[in-house]
């Protein structure tokens, strides 16, 4: 997300880095380049103009042209203005007591509304809530079936009335059912259209009038850019929106919608969908998003994701092993499985300060993690506990069992040894020291060792070479 905008901003700030003092003309040139970058990122034209005017006024007002490090001060001013542009935002859902808290989800077809209902239900379940989803999309074929499948995946009940044609009554009955079954959150999945029309807007307005929801969220496809902003404006004219949820945020490399919605509609972005899995819903924090845009990473979100995946007692036990240098490959494998639940390796590394700006267009093949898992599973328990005993004959046996080359086994064992030593060294560090050291470790992982992060083309070539070698071996046997 924001890759093109991040690259452009980095180029702009690199242009004034190391020049000593700059002039008002230099600042004006920088702002022209930033305005062009924002417009290319599909940011609303008026929003881009106002943003640049504010930054330029503050830059000259804070005497950027007199400072010895103008690039650093410019980055700070741009970051603060990005935060102001997208915020303030409180992503918390205001639950009511006694319940149920009613959340109405509106949006166009194809925006990911039904899946987002499931993501939101899973999110509130993490707050010890008991949600009920109501299938009120009676227009789209199989919409009810889709919501039931999503509910089954997360263990959330779904209220349905098949054959019913009145969405308002279905929502009203669903809320009544929630009260009977002691569900304290109700999520209403309403119908959408391919485009805004009067019938759809009238139906969702009637549902809002009858059910009196505590929060109304508009689900928007981030990849539609300014179309998403226009949709938000139209819905806001008919409904009193409390916020927006941007879906497909991980696929939007421009970010125009995220930077324009709040300014154009006055309604904040509350959540963002960052993947296809039902746990891939993140609260929207403008300060963290500004950090990502400027290539500063997002450690706070990374820490929160880790806290959701790692049990405290289990983490403490693993930390004790790391401090003693006794971590085994079984421990390492369990750790990597939990990391996989946090998202792709590239998305994780993008959040690490200092490393995010260095990633660029680097391709990271998560399939290498699958290969690593296969290698470890091909080892005996004794080998997983003490990899130092793996000699040449053991490497060949493990390689055959996992379908890889002996050098891949050697690479994994070597990298594991380096990581175990590094983790032992980190045991006595404070949090800031660990963050800095973790960034160095990540650079080491990108630079070499196992897992080797390669493009899919390299992987395909390597698979082809294995087939050729096997074919050659069969020919020699004949």
Q: How far apart are CA 155 and CA 132, in angstroms?
A: 10
Q: Identify the residue with better confidence: 330 or 302.
A: 330
Q: What is the mean pLDDT of residues 134-141?
A: 90
- pLDDT tens for residues 212-252? 999 999 999 988 888 888 888 889 888 889 999 999 888 76
Identify which has the larger pLDDT, 45 or 348: 45
Q: In what order do the strands lie in the sheet with 243-247?
A: 158-159, 131-136, 185-190, 101-107, 215-221, 243-247, 269-273, 281-283
pLDDT digits (tens, 9 = 90+) for 180-196: 999 999 999 999 888 88
**For the residues 467-474, what does the mean pLDDT come to?**
51
**Per-residue model confidence (pLDDT) at position 319:** 67
**Using one digit for the tens of pLDDT, what is the confidence trace for 199-215?**
889 999 999 999 999 99
Burial 72-90 (b: 16+ CB within 10 A, else e): ebbbebbbebbbebbbebe
% of the chain surpassing 70 pLDDT: 73
Residue whose entry in the numeric block shows the structure tokens 């880790």: 306
Res 407 pLDDT > 80: yes
Backbone angles phi and psi of 103, in degrees to 5: -115, 120
The encoded tokens of residue 258 equal 């995220």
Per-residue pLDDT, averaged over 317-326, amounts to 73
Q: What is the phi-psi region of residue 459: left when phi exceeds 0, alpha when psi lies from -120 to 50, beta otherwise?
A: alpha
Q: Which pair of structure tokens corresponds to residue 478?
A: 């004949």
Q: Which range is most confident: 61-75, 100-114, 250-264?
A: 100-114
Q: Which of 119-123, 174-178, 234-238 shows the lowest per-residue confidence on average (mean pLDDT)?
A: 234-238
> How far, in Å, CA of 221 to CA of 258, rounded?
10
Per-residue pLDDT, averaged over 111-124, amounts to 94
Gap between the Cα atoms of 423 and 417, Å rounded: 10
Average pLDDT of the chain?
79
Say yes or no to pLDDT of 369 above 50.
yes
In terms of pLDDT, which residue wins out, 127 or 341? 127
pLDDT of residue 349: 57
pLDDT value for 63: 62
Pairing of strands 215-221, 185-190: unpaired
pLDDT at 354: 46
pLDDT tops 50 at residue 446: no
Q: What pLDDT was estimated at residue 471?
A: 53
Looking at residue 342, its pLDDT comes to 63
What residues are paired with 135 via a beta bridge? 189
Question: Burial of 207 by CB count in 10 Å (0-12 exposed, 13-18 middle, 19+ buried)?
Answer: buried
Lowest pLDDT segment from 84-93, 353-362, 384-393: 353-362
- For each of the domains in the chain, give its residue range(s) and CATH number, in order of start: 3-86 (1.20.120.140), 101-286 (3.40.50.300), 302-463 (1.10.260.30)
């Amino acid at each position: 997300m924001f890759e093109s905008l991040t690259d452009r901003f980095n180029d702009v700030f690199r242009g004034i880095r190391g020049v000593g003092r700059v002039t008002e003309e230099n600042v004006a040139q920088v702002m022209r380049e930033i305005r062009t970058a924002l417009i290319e990122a599909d940011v609303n034209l008026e929003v881009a103009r106002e943003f640049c005017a504010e930054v330029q006024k503050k830059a000259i007002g804070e005497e950027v042209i007199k400072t010895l490090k103008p690039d650093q001060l410019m980055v700070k001013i741009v970051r603060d203005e990005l935060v102001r542009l997208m915020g303030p935002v409180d992503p918390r859902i205001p639950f009511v007591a006694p319940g149920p808290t009613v959340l109405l989800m509106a949006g166009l077809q194809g925006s990911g509304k039904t899946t987002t209902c499931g993501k939101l239900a899973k999110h509130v379940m993490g707050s010890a809530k008991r949600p009920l989803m109501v299938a009120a999309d009676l227009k789209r074929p199989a919409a009810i079936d889709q919501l039931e499948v999503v509910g089954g995946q997360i263990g959330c009940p779904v209220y349905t009335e098949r054959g019913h044609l009145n969405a308002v009554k279905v929502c009203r009955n669903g809320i009544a059912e929630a009260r009977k079954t002691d569900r304290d959150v109700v999520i209403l999945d309403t119908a959408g259209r391919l485009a805004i029309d009067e019938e759809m807007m009238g139906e969702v307005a009637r549902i809002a009038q009858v059910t009196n929801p505590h929060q109304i969220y508009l689900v928007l496809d981030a990849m539609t850019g300014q179309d998403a902003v226009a949709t938000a404006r139209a819905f806001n004219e008919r409904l009193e929106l409390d916020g927006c949820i941007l879906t497909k945020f991980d696929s939007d490399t421009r970010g125009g919608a995220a930077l324009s919605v709040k300014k154009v509609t006055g309604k904040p972005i509350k959540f963002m969908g960052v993947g296809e899995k039902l746990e891939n819903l993140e609260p929207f924090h403008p300060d963290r998003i500004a950090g990502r845009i400027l290539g500063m990473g997002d450690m706070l979100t990374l820490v929160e994701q880790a806290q959701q995946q790692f049990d405290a007692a289990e983490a403490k036990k693993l930390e004790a092993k790391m401090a003693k240098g006794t971590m085994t490959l079984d421990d390492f494998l369990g750790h990597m499985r939990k990391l996989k639940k946090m998202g792709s390796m590239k998305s994780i590394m993008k959040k690490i300060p200092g490393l995010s700006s260095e990633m660029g267009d680097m391709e990271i093949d998560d399939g290498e993690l699958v290969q690593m898992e296969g290698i470890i599973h091909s080892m005996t328990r004794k080998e997983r506990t003490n990899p130092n005993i793996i000699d040449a004959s053991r490497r060949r046996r493990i390689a055959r069992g996992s379908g890889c080359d002996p050098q891949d086994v050697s690479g994994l064992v070597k990298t594991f040894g380096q990581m175990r030593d590094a983790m032992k060294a980190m045991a006595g560090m404070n949090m800031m020291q660990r963050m800095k050291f973790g960034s160095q470790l990540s650079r080491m992982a990108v630079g070499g060792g196992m897992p080797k992060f390669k493009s899919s083309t390299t992987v395909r070539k390597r698979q082809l070479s294995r087939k050729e070698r096997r074919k050659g071996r069969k020919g020699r046997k004949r």
